[in-house]
């Protein structure tokens, strides 16, 4: 979250054009500037209401995700999202995907407790609708269907993670998307689902 806030402040100081040139993930610059994986995954845009909401979601639901599964699994989740979203963003020509990471977090959390109620703005909604509510809010705020694309990308990559850590092992498949034991031993304390899908048994 600190990186997201820092990049947003820098974008305000430098202007949109310069900040996009420095932070965006593009195939032309990637071989020489690999840090763009991090900046593209952390840049939420210049300070605005939508950016502030995204930072809140990142803090609130990112913390929930880490508490639920443990630090090692949360780290693996972030790495998998950066990898997958880097591919999708190159295909769809979207230079930043921090909002996609936030949506992926919401989607993965919502699949753990889909029918529980959660507060969103002034409404109480089922947890599973939260990623779609965030997408609808951005579309309405920006008055453009293109605003849905980052959220669609996040739902796709988030579901990839959920499928391969929860659904596929229950179908008898190999549980391959999990942190190594030595990483869990160093990083984890307690997670609600620690050990299941890299996090634990219920």
Per-residue pLDDT of 130-157, as tens digits, reads: 999 889 988 998 889 999 999 999 999 9
- The most confident of the ranges 4-13, 131-140, 187-196 is 131-140
- The most confident of the ranges 88-92, 151-155, 186-190 is 151-155
| pTM over cut 0.75 | yes
Measured CA to CA in angstroms, residue 42 lies from 25, 168, 183 at distances of 11, 30, 24
Can you tell me the distance from the alpha carbon of 29 to that of 83, in angstroms, rounded to the nearest whole number?
Answer: 16
Per-residue pLDDT at 34: 66
Per-residue pLDDT of 32-76, as tens digits, reads: 566 667 777 777 766 677 777 888 888 888 888 888 889 999 999
User: Could you identify the residue written with the tokens 């995204």?
Assistant: 54
Give how far the C-alpha of residue 108 lies from the chain's centroid of Cα atoms, to the nearest Å.
9
Where does the chain have alpha helices with state H? 2-14, 16-23, 36-42, 49-69, 71-92, 98-112, 130-142, 149-162, 168-170, 181-187
Can you tell me the distance from the alpha carbon of 94 to that of 76, in angstroms, rounded to the nearest whole number?
Answer: 23
Q: Domain containing 92: what range?
A: 2-196
Residue 8: Cβ within 10 Å count: 22
Residue 202 maps to a domain? no
What is the total count of domains within the chain? 1
> pLDDT band at residue 9, thresholds of 50, 70 and 90?
very low
86/153: higher pLDDT: 153
For residue 80, give both structure tokens.
């998998």
**What residues have CB less than 8 Å from 90, skipping those under 6 apart?**
25, 27
**What residues have CB less than 8 Å from 133, skipping those under 6 apart?**
120, 125
Residue 201 maps to a domain? no
């Amino acid at each position: 979250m600190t990186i997201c806030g820092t990049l947003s402040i820098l974008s305000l100081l430098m202007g949109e054009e310069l900040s996009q040139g420095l932070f965006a993930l593009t195939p032309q610059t990637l071989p020489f500037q690999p840090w763009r994986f991090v900046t593209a995954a952390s840049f939420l845009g210049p300070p605005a209401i939508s950016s502030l909401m995204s930072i809140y979601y990142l803090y609130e639901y990112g913390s929930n995700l880490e508490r639920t599964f443990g630090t090692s699994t949360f780290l693996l989740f972030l790495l998998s999202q950066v990898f997958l979203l880097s591919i999708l963003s190159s295909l769809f020509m979207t230079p930043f995907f921090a909002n996609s990471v936030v949506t992926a977090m919401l989607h993965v959390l919502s699949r753990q407790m889909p029918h529980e109620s959660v507060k969103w703005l002034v409404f109480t909604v089922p947890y599973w609708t939260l990623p779609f509510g965030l997408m609808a809010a951005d579309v309405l705020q920006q008055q453009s269907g293109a605003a849905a694309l980052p959220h669609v990308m996040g739902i796709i990559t988030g579901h990839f993670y959920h499928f391969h850590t929860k659904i596929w092992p229950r179908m008898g498949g190999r549980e391959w998307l999990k942190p190594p034991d030595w990483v869990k031993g160093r990083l984890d304390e307690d997670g609600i689902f620690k050990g299941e899908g890299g996090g634990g048994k219920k």
